[in-house]
Amino acid sequence: MFYWVVILVTVIDQGFKLWVRMHMDVGESIVIWHGILNFTHYQNSGAAGSTFQGYGRYFIIPAVLFVGYLLYSRRKGNLKGGWVEAGTAFLAGGAIGNAIDRLLFGQVTDFIKFQFGRGILNMADEAINIGVVILLADAIKSVAADWRRRDRNRAGA
């Protein structure tokens, strides 16, 4: 499942970005869901929140190291459980999707603009957000299970 999610996230991300680059001028907006979501074509040559503008290519190195670490951890058996594998697969796919843009274009194509939020994102960014949420939910579930186990052990002692 891990590799399928990585590939799916990367393909979806690159497909949306290609569509945006082919059909929208930079700065152009299309209303997707009135009052909630627009597609606004933006080229981000930096990092999240448009910080470090002009240094986008430097973020390829941490992305490659991060994905390499995830693959190594997975091979060593450190990423156990379906939720952990899914979460890390979303993180890896997102990192790869943005690294491809930085490698090919020196910048990342962003286009997802929520009216209630700040900034413009892309599918890779959203995949990273999903991965973080999955991993946090799994961690909370594990902590809660440990608490229940401890309570049962105390009650039985």
Please give the Cα distance from 14 to 105 (Å, whole number): 12
Q: Listing from the earlier edge strand, what are the strands of the sheet with 29-33?
A: 29-33, 37-44, 108-114
**Mean pLDDT score across all residues of the chain:** 90
Domain boundaries defined on the chain? 1-20+69-142
Low-confidence ranges of the chain (pLDDT < 70): 46-56, 156-157
Annotated catalytic sites, by residue? Answer: 110, 125
| CA distances for 53 relative to 22, 126, 127, 138, angstroms | 23, 20, 22, 34
Strands (E), the chain: 29-33, 37-44, 108-114
Q: What is the pLDDT of residue 54?
A: 60
What would the pLDDT profile of 126-141 be if each residue is shown by its tens digit? 999 999 999 999 999 9
Q: Is the dihedral of CA 123, 96, 20, 16 positive or negative?
A: negative
Give which of 20, 11, 22 is closest to 100, Cα–Cα: 11
Contact of 100 with 14, CB cutoff 8 Å: yes
Q: How many CB atoms lie within 10 A of CB 122?
A: 24
Instruction: Give the predicted TM-score (pTM) of the model.
Output: 0.86
